[in-house]
Amino acid sequence: MTKELIKFENEDFPISYTKAEIDFQGYPALDAKVDAMTKDWDKYVVTAESYPYDKKTRAELNRIRRALSDRRKVIVKESSQQITEFNTKVKGLDLKIKGVVDHLSEGLKTFDEQARKDKHQQNLLRLGELAKEYGVALQELDYQDKWDNKTTSWTTIEEDARQQFEAIVEKQKARKEAEQVIANKANEYTKPAMSANPYLQMLDYKSLPDVLTQMDNDHDYLIKQAKQQEENRKKAIEALEQHGDKYVDAKTGEVVDKVHSVTLKLTGTKEQLTALSNFIRDWGISYERVD
């Protein structure tokens, strides 16, 4: 069942009113009298002699105040009674109409929500095509809830989305360039070598110049560490003496290790075998050629 469209023929409503008027004819004379009564009292000083008189004066002034206040309340109450009744009637009418509005709103809500869902799906399909155009994953887009509103046109959505996609493409391009710079710099480090992987991850929270500075600092540290380890190794080798089948610390006499012997057959170029023999000699390992 469909209700007929509700429409008021006369939107001015048949309500007449007159402005409230209060005829306070004696106000100028009363105001002048009160001014005369209250003039210069801020300079008056109560004394012991004037105390009884001043007390009576205060009582009379308070009586006048109460009389004015009582009269004001009566007039305001009578004047506002019609306003209060009118206000109550209009609010009653509003509540009746609001009941219908709320009922219709609840029914329309289901269709409005479905319309938003349908438009959301349509937007995703069209935005997916835009994403392919830019070579960007749709998930990278910051989808705006307002795009699902009926009043938001596709032209507006497309313009906003393209601005985002262009910014994403520029950001990805800058990221790739930064990653290449880091990879190239990592390849420049040979002794000791460094992996680019941890520094690529740093790009998530550091700028490229900061990452490159970190790489230099870390490489300097590795060089110093390698030198210190080499010095410690040489000192350790120099401190060893062979006694029978044991290696003994020359300073403390402590047995550090046993003498181990392994027979190997090595195959390689002359340069490789020479490099290997130099390494073995550097580590203080005794060796002899076995034919």
What pLDDT does 114 receive?
95
What pLDDT does 85 receive?
87
| Tens-digit pLDDT profile for residues 14-43 | 677 777 777 888 888 888 888 888 888 888
Is the pLDDT higher at 234 or at 81? 81
Q: What is the DSSP string of 47-93?
A: -TTTHHHHHHHHHHHHHHHHHHHHHHHHHHHHHHHHHHHHHHHHHHH
Q: Against a cut of 0.85, is the pTM above it?
A: no
φ, ψ for residue 249 (rounded to 5)? -70, 120
Beta-sheet strand order (sheet of 240-243): 240-243, 246-249, 255-258
Indicate the pLDDT class of residue 160, thresholds 50, 70 and 90.
very high
| Tens-digit pLDDT profile for residues 40-90 | 888 889 999 989 988 998 998 899 899 889 888 888 888 888 888 888 988
